[in-house]
Structure 1
Amino acid sequence: MTSDYERLDSLEGWVAIKSDIFEETETFKLGFIVQWNIIECKFAVTCHNRTLQRQRRKEPALSDTQTSWAGLFSVSDLKNIHRQFSGVSDVLEPYFPDLGDFEGGNIWDIIFLYRTSNQDETERDLDTPCRQLEKYFCTAIDVCGRKIVLDSLFMQDERDVEEYFENLQEFKRKTMQEQVVKAKDDLRKVLQQHKTADQLVLLLKIYEEEDEAYKELVTTATLFYQYLLQPFRDMRELAMLYKMEILKSLEFEELGPRRIAALEKEAEEWRKRAEDAVSSIQDITVNYFVETSKALAGMLKQMEDDKKRFGQASWASAAPRLERLRFMLAKETLQRMRAKEMCLNRKKQDIRERMRNLADQSEGVETVDQLELQYYEAQLELYDVKFESLKNEELLLVAQIDTVRRQIKGINTLTH
């Protein structure tokens, strides 16, 4: 039983289908021509993209774009295709023509001028079923979409099937991102309920729902951003490991000049990879704290608006939560500012390195001026970030002081 559950939880052998594979952003007019092929005893189906054909006459750049498709289909083939289309929409069921008169024919019927149905070819109505099939395919385009119909009829290369599949890693990333978006939407919906609560008792219940919604947002966001961070953490560790191994070789092994130069170059490449990984980690960390601090800011603003609607005595039961939100917001914002400070220091370091490299190149004064301006702007932004950090450190202390004062006041009230 355990192994069965493990197999169910595993993604091995599964494929992820793209959710938007059949979305069509452009509208094309397609025309079908169907004829009965006497030699092959099959229907010859040709499709022309009239819209692209007209565009290609005006724009030569579209000359490589495929605008026509053709294929031969037996009655059995067409019935199988009809089953696929009907699986998408059963609306197509009555549109498929009766092709019973065309079943069972083959080349020997032509050679011996004999039909299993004892019907002469010249007497058979070939035009009506063909026109009905043309109408059927046009209806299928309207109902199922252009891509499904064309791929079902004219897919030439089995490798084209891969475009329906999604990379599992990308699928997982998108799924987790959608969960974060959903959690934010759920929190937003709870915040919108505040206006309808005219009693503090109802508002306190909404606060409980809001706290749960925020907790869910933090959980999903943490999982999502940890998932984004993991590849860069792995690369950082791998790069540092390879760099250390190379440095050991340079220190303890007897190597020739060419080998030493090659290893030093490789060590430098691994150093840059490690730095790039660290940079990505810092950027992702900033984005995470942007999400959490933005959510807390909305919650705090809403609660401060709620406070104005109630008296001080009745609001006492909600005061601890307000203090807690202020503390949490200051803490999350402070962490965001510290992460952003690291990003700005890295940006300044990158600019300094680029300016050092200019000494070995014949770059113009204009390039130097641009780098100096970028460095100056980064420094100004860094000052703003440090100021925000100090401000939030103060807010943290104020929130803690307010909590202590309220607790002392409560103790004094009880003693009296």
Structure 2
Amino acid sequence: MRVLVVGGGGREHALCWALAASPLLTKLWCAPGNPGIAELAECVPIGATEIAKLVGFAKVEKVDLVVAGPEAPLTLGLADACAAAGIKCFGPTAAAARLEGSKAFTKEVADAAGVPTAAWARFEDPAAARAYILQRGAPIVVKADGLAAGKGVVVASTVEEAEAAIADIMESRVHGTAGASVVIEECLPGEEVSFFALCDGTTALPMAAAQDHKRVGEGDTGPNTGGMGAYSPPPAFTDALRDEAMDRIIRPTLAEMAKRGAPFQGVLFAGLMLTGDGPKLIEFNVRFGDPECQALMLRLRSDLLPALLAACDGELSRFDLRWEAHPSLVVVMAAEGYPGTPRKGTEIRGLERAAQVPGVQLFHAGTARREDGALVADGGRVLTVAATGQTLRAARDAAYAAVDVVDWPGGFCRRDIGWRAL
């Protein structure tokens, strides 16, 4: 099969890594890709949101399957454009991708489907939002309604923090048009997990769960990021909780989306809070998480390619997935300045030695090649150092052993990934 992966981050590197191992694969492209992906696939200089160019390339090259990595091309209609061209695409239509494109839409779907979630309200007026915050008190959660690259959520411990979030999101527009409206939610107590299910429009197949570390600082301090690390499986997410999440959250959502004429096909990423009343939905994403995808791909023992095809073809009811029992852990190495303005152009050395640490797999995210061939930072989250081990502690030790070999003075990472479980 001829496959095109769309995107150029650590998630897409992990997807390419898994797909490259499939005996069904005959040709692999990635648009735009990165230097790490270039070792597995032919990189194509087309941006992830250049829908017409992506579909045009897929037609010319007779691509059998397009695999969408990030959310932006999906909300812009990549799957719709592929379908119009007669090309299979793993990922939801633009109508179904609203589950990530609008947090208010997700809440409306959850309420209609009877999915347990936090109490919420949507606001377009900053004054009304502030009044609601004063009425509800803190802690409270403020979210930009639109896409904000994983950074549009503020968990405010005080009313003042929540009011500052309204100022940043709605008035200063730090997340652009994503902040034209906000969703304000009650702050749910409990432990947060990322749970993934493959969906074909009618059937949902549970994948695995992970726990990520959103805040930039150790001990979960500082501003939210796209993710500073993850591990899988989270011990708190038992098989019983997985089954409950499928029955009360995933399947009812799938049924409600089909009822609305927007059946969901792709991977449904449920951000869950494990509360005393069971799992509750925080939000949906319509693609694999980053860095959770890296943690999952290291544990996946089934061939990824036929699983994605089964989702496209409505055949998941006849499919199953096998997972490695041993855990995986992922450490994100980011450029100085992240999650603000990252410092680009700093040289990275030592990756060959880091990759030789037993159990370690390196995934590139924000990297580039300089004219002289040197590898340099070209983004915020730059590298993902992933590892497996007999135990979570062993996986963590291997990952940090590889991190310590990387020679990159311009980068940093959290040193406490996995602390909740350990």
Tell me which interval the TM-score lies in, with the shorter structure as reference length: under 0.3
TM-score by length of 1: 0.19
User: Which structure has the higher relative contact order (CA within 8 Å, separation 6+)?
Assistant: 2
TM-score by length of 2: 0.19
Q: Which has the higher strand share?
A: 2
Q: Which has the higher helix share?
A: 1
